[in-house]
Structure 1
Amino acid sequence: MNTKQKVIKPKQTNNDITVDGILNELEWQDADMAANFIQNYPSDSSLSHGKTKVKVLYNEKYLYIAAELLNADNAQEKYVASSLKRDFPLLENDVFGLTIDPFGDHINGYGFYLSAYGVQREEQVFNGSKQDDTWDIKWFSAVQHTAIGWTLEIAIPFRYLRYSQSLDSWNVNFLRNDVVNNERSSWVAMPRNFTFPNLAYSGKIKWPQIPRQALKNISLIPSLTLSANQNKKEKIQSTVKPSLDAKATLNSSLNLDLTVNPDFSQAEVDDAQVNLSRFELSYPEKRLFFIENSDLFSQFGVDKLGTSPVRPVYSRRIGLKYNARLGQFEPARVIAGARLSGKISNDLRIGVMSVQTASQSAKDSTDNTSPGQSYSVVALQQKVFSSSNIGVIFTNRQSTGADNTTDNTLSGKYNRLIGAEYNLTSRNGEWTGKLFEQVMFTPQKTTSSQGGWLNYNTRHTISWVGFTRVGKDFNPDLGFVPRDNFSNVYGELSYIAYTKSKSLLFLRPVIHYELYFDPAYTLTDHSYIGGTEIALNNTTDIYLLFHNSYTRLMQPFNPALNNGKVLPAGSAYTYNFFSFYYLSDLRKNFAWEYFLRFGKYFNGTYTEHKGYFNVKIQPWGIVGINYDINMVRLPAPYSNNNIYAVGPKADISFSRKLYFNANIQYTSANRNLNFFFRLQWRFRPLSDIYVVYSNNQSTQPWQRQNHNLTMKFIYFW
């Protein structure tokens, strides 16, 4: 593989390029070109079959990209698209993209992608390869199809990019996903053990003159929400809620986000999860204010396969309260919030967030109210060595009034945490790791957690080792720590054996272990897993695994999750079971995922069937069904139970401006049937009208719990 660094020198122009996908401007004729893309998948040692040529221009306002993507053997093809909706799944679509690392740290940057149908996806990239596709800016693009391929033009405003005025070059890579020919390729070669994006593998944009620093600017985003809500058979309550968001560019490297009286009614409903464990499950954040630029907060701590999560910041704690009866989160009103994020210098990042929630009426027969809460986070991240960093974080949850309610679960007047960590990333991305220490303070106690892990990722192995220790009662109110008072060691060893078969890509034998100990270092749990992964050249993925588990219960527990007899605290169980996982070829119009687990479970047996069936209606979207069916069988006098969540979903794009989302799901644990329907019209860039209907229905007895109809208008000014 050629390791010589590639450089492209963009030509500066005083003209504006017409972004129509037709490369007929004179400026493109003698612009510098990037070509000779190298495969990343299924091989990484040869040139791509479909040729790609990229040219770059810029003026004082825009970075312009033009690309010509030829089909393999210059054949005429029908391109693959899973959706016409913005921020589409990257690897399921025919796509051209580029990654930009303006500070040259190989850690933080941006990704811009355009499908063969002209649909946009943009993302922030952090920790070198992790993505946040909720980041949205206004940029411009167009696609034209030809007899033997497609061409495109892209214009990215410099005003939305954070970059240094002292660097005369940026790291860049150009990417292509050719779904029809099952090929991924890039301008700068990327080993096939890595997927797009990865900032460790980049060339250079060498500026003849550094782009002018963006002037300070403010984007206002007012919104208006009209809603009608009814609980059971009570009178319908109607509300009108104005909101205001603002984005202020303080300089070319620092951004301020503000929100006043925010409304998150357009956020998608959570997918139902069946929780048979003894610990809380996490749910993804779907509210834009808390997602954008959130990596500085969310990446602290550990959330890795083999250990219980220790995350000091879990934004779902802010403005949401969990309703155990319905098995879902419900909103608590947010009054206002502010977030400052960006770079203070080329190597120092900062993130500051503060959110205030309103007081709430108690859910008991009293007239008491629970106090409002102030949530604050400060995080700093200093780059060290080539691609590593040192981070520190401080969090604070502070009550803003007296609390005499009966349903408050927060830990007193305040809950604070301070933490520090070292994040290792080698220059080529093969070695990654972390060491962290966190200390939590409340009026009643001080407790701490520590941990670390080291990961090795090459062509022939994906392996890691790690340890975690969490003190008694360590449970930060702003974080997610579902388990406390334990020590844990874990790891995985695997070897990837590639083949020359036309159908089989590789075999990967896997050995995985995780052990948990109580404070006296007596074993409470272990899990030993052995098996193999089978990857096919058509993107199908298969796992066959054997599990040996041991559990010593620290608290009484009923594995059937019903009113039957519980297993006593202190009792111990060793049980073996098998698991099978199959992910079909996602390029096909019909795709499916299936997970099967069967065998012993505590003192009985357990079988789980979990997965989805999806039908792709190109290029409009996907309809399908999700299911999770669990059958627990315990000997007398213990009880049996069938626990399941099932329901159809649809995500349809009628055009690149009109989208429909539906999610119907039934969960047997709380006997709740939930309907969620959302229609979105993007009438101009980043400006939308939403119509959302949701309904929670109890099935035994058949009774509506609540339903809501909402219309929301958002204007990006």
Structure 2
Amino acid sequence: MLLPLTAVSQQQQKKNGNFHLQMRRASSPVKIDGVIDEQAWKDAGITTGFHMVLPMDTSAARLRTDVRMTYDQQYIYLLVENYTEGDGPYMVESLRRDFAFLKNDNFLLFMDPFDDQTNGFSFGANAAGAQWDGLMYDGGKVDLSWDNKWTSVVKNYPDKWVFEAAIPFKTIRYKKGITTWGINFSRNDLKSTEKSAWAPVPRQFATASLAYTGNLDWDAPPPDAGPNISLIPYLLGGISKDYEKGAPAKYRRDAGLDAKVAVTSSLNLDLTVNPDFSQVDVDKQVTNLDRFELFFPERRQFFLENGDQMSNFGYANIRPFFSRRIGLGVPIHFGARLSGKLNKNWRLGVMNMQTGRQEESGLPAQNFTVAALQRRVFSRSNLGFIFINKESLNYDPSRVTDKTVYSRYNRNMGLEYNLASSNNFWTGKALLLKSYSPGKSGHDFVHAANLQYTSKVWNISWQHEYVGRNYNAEVGYVPRQGYIKLMPQVTRLFFPLSGAVLSHGPQVTATYITDEKFSRTDNETMLNYGIVFRKRNTLNIWASDTYIRLLQPFDPTNTRKDSMLTGSEHSWRTVGADYVSRPQSLFTYSLSARYGGYYGGGKRLMTNTELGYRFQPYVSIALSANYNHIQLPQPWGTNSFWLVGPRLDVTMTNTLFFTGFMQYNEQQKNINLNTRFQWRYRPASDLFIVYTDNYLPEPFYVRNRALVLKLVYWFNI
């Protein structure tokens, strides 16, 4: 078959443009049961012959995997036969949705409906039937917070496990009329320690990399999804009591609504009124020995879904937009977000949120607006623009107790160029930001850039940052201002032809930070030697040399004992090691330790342990334990902190879950208990029962506790 010239040129640009799977309309109805007895599957196009990615990417996969796809007016159907070898059970964590890829026997589909090698969707399951779904962005990352309606079944046979799924056209976004989509399939088998992909992917990249997709060729343009409006209301009831303040119990009755409206087949409008996030997982606490604000990731689904264009603008420590700043201790009244693809080259994201007033601190009601526009350039790179505005309504400065955080307004504008070569070997970013705040001008911009080269044996990167002392991102995460940072890194890998070691090699990282006058404030050089074993366990041994000049008073124990003086200089050396066990074992563990100097000529010992055991697929038990022992001159003396967190996950079925998580934080003198029961009584519709407790450990005393019952129902119009 002759292809149009434009299609030929696009496929020639793709590394795996010669891989094709034919997509034909189903010749009979399809029942999702894991049994291959319909005529539609006998007539469907089939592909096999996967390629090994790990442990080596130079041969065909040992395990056979057969994939079929078909469709009708409403659904895309997928059927996969995952053949196995040897005795023993499949290796899975649990029946929980969105499992960890490396700890499960699983099959994943990566779909690029625009064939732009940048954005898409992922669906899959582990060998026990737990579902996986997520939005794809940045050419190979998957946001698993995305949760939508689709159905699947996994059926086990003596020599294989079969995964069958039906994905509604209403669930995904795609451009009408495009008859070639990018697609790839990935399989992970822990018993054989083999990871494979249909279209071959170099081992240094994730199999999710959209630069290496093949082609899904439709026999006709995909059907129009038609009207696509989803309403997701919730009802909530709860009770809470604050024992520390001696306040009477508070009863809560609430309701709210989310809505999803498909403006076009590739552009979606999300609306929320009086949202509630009481069912969200609690943060995993850390012992805080840092001079700057700690980062805790966003967990609220409304902000995460399709939000990468806004939340990933910048770098890990230079985020002009960080959604956790919205609704911080205040109610969110309503919000809207328009996001998606305008066409193959343009992508849009616009969000507006309105919060209420907080009487205790005098914080006024606030409005947040974020707009992001992205233009694809070259084969896989893009140019992005972002605008962020936080406006305080009816602002009265005499009533606000913390004017450094809550000003009348704060605005940010930025440009970003993201580089991604066609083969993904070269990646990078260049960033320019400027802030606007009352009374702050000059030194209020950011420039940063990085460039990285990744091959099978070399990983070489350079990054530099400048953040002005008056740069202000009140809706962002920028923990440090007024600095210049340089950070080169080089990694070299070696691959033995045989033996227990799969790869090993050194890594050198240097971090050099000055103030705006180029006077050194921080310096760290680290040498790491990493070893990856064929069974996928890993070992890293490292040493570092550190220098810090304090720019403000700092308590090195964060216990409010006393502070070291501004301008004092500190230097020390540290050694450490990290080991992660084989993921295919029922009992898994990771061990970390570091020992060396600390501020003020002190000493610090840190150990961290993560233990896990699974009674697959129903019960998973985990325990994390972190210990810090710090020796300092007076007035701090000797300080020891334990942070212990046992966790229990019970997945009775793939729709019935229970989680219990306790955290004992000796530094913060707090014990927190969070339990959550979830029943997914129909696709994307849930009943949650959440119970939380906080205790003072010495003397043991209840601080506060709360119980919430929340019912969510998803239905389509």
Q: Please state which band the TM-score falls in when normalised by the shorter chain.
A: over 0.9
Please name the residue that 2:7 is paired with.
none
CA 706–636 in structure 1, closer or farther in 2 if over 3 Å, else same: closer
**Offset of residue 595 of structure 1:** 1.4
Please name the residue that 1:103 is paired with.
114
Amino acid at match of 1:212: P
Please name the residue that 1:310 is paired with.
318
Is the aligned partner of 1:82 residue 2:93?
yes
Contact 1:76 1:147 in 2 (8 A): no
TM-score normalised by L of structure 1: 0.95
Contact 1:399 1:414 in 2 (8 A): yes
CA 637–665 in structure 1, closer or farther in 2 if over 3 Å, else same: closer
Q: Distance in 2 between matches of 1:275 and 1:199?
A: 38
Is the aligned partner of 1:434 residue 2:429?
yes
Contact 2:27 2:43 in 1 (8 A): no
Question: Residue deviations 1:670-703, cap 9 Å, x none?
Answer: 2111111111111111111111111111224433
Q: Please, which of 148, 153, 176 is the counterpart of residue 142 of structure 1? A: 153
Is the aligned partner of 1:589 residue 2:586?
yes
Q: How does 1:37-48 map to 2 (within 5 A)?
A: 37-48=50-61
Q: Distance in 2 between matches of 1:55 and 1:645?
A: 49
Please name the residue that 1:237 is paired with.
250
Is the aligned partner of 1:265 residue 2:260?
no
Please name the residue that 1:252 is paired with.
265
Question: Residue deviations 1:460-500, cap 9 Å, x none?
Answer: 12221110000013231110000000000002101010112
Q: Distance in 1 between matches of 2:288 and 2:579?
A: 22
Please name the residue that 1:445 is paired with.
440
Percent identical pairs in the alignment equals 35
698-707 or 154-163, which deviates more? 698-707
**Offset of residue 152 of structure 1:** 2.5
Q: Secondary structure at the match of 2:210?
A: coil
Q: Please, which of 530, 550, 561 is the counterpart of residue 527 of structure 2? A: 530
TM-score normalised by L of structure 2: 0.95
Is the aligned partner of 1:519 residue 2:516?
yes
Q: How does 1:223-622 map to 2 (within 5 A)?
A: 223-232=234-243, 233-303=246-316, 309-320=317-328, 331-363=329-361, 369-403=362-396, 404-407=399-402, 409-446=404-441, 447-602=444-599, 603-622=601-620
Question: Residue deviations 1:645-668, cap 9 Å, x none?
Answer: 212111221111110111111112
Amino acid at match of 1:410: V
Q: Please, which of 629, 632, 635 is the counterpart of residue 630 of structure 2? A: 632
Question: Residue deviations 1:290-314, cap 9 Å, x none?
Answer: 11111011111111xxxxx100111
Amino acid at match of 1:599: G
Contact 1:230 1:708 in 2 (8 A): yes
Contact 2:554 2:565 in 1 (8 A): yes
Q: Distance in 2 between matches of 1:610 and 1:484?
A: 31
Q: Distance in 2 between matches of 1:13 and 1:565?
A: 72
Q: Distance in 2 between matches of 1:552 and 1:473?
A: 20
Please name the residue that 2:21 is paired with.
8
Q: Distance in 1 between matches of 2:29 and 2:128?
A: 24
Q: Which runs of 5+ in 2 are unaligned?
A: 1-14
Q: Please, which of 41, 45, 69 is the counterpart of residue 32 of structure 1? A: 45
Amino acid at match of 1:314: F
Please name the residue that 1:184 is paired with.
195
Q: Secondary structure at the match of 1:27?
A: helix
Q: Distance in 1 between matches of 2:559 and 2:197?
A: 53
Contact 1:649 1:662 in 2 (8 A): yes
Question: Residue deviations 1:167-192, cap 9 Å, x none?
Answer: 22000011111111111101101111
Contact 2:16 2:212 in 1 (8 A): no
**Offset of residue 533 of structure 1:** 0.4
Q: Which runs of 5+ in 1 are unaligned?
A: 304-308, 321-330, 364-368
Q: Distance in 1 between matches of 2:391 and 2:122?
A: 37
Q: Distance in 1 between matches of 2:94 and 2:705?
A: 29
Contact 1:31 1:55 in 2 (8 A): yes
Q: Distance in 2 between matches of 1:353 and 1:646?
A: 38
Question: Residue deviations 1:327-353, cap 9 Å, x none?
Answer: xxxx42111111111011211010111
Q: Secondary structure at the match of 2:589?
A: strand
Contact 2:17 2:214 in 1 (8 A): no
Is the aligned partner of 1:210 residue 2:221?
yes
Q: Please, which of 10, 16, 19 is the counterpart of residue 32 of structure 2? A: 19
Please name the residue that 1:52 is paired with.
65
Q: Secondary structure at the match of 1:646?
A: strand
How many residue pairs match? The answer is: 694
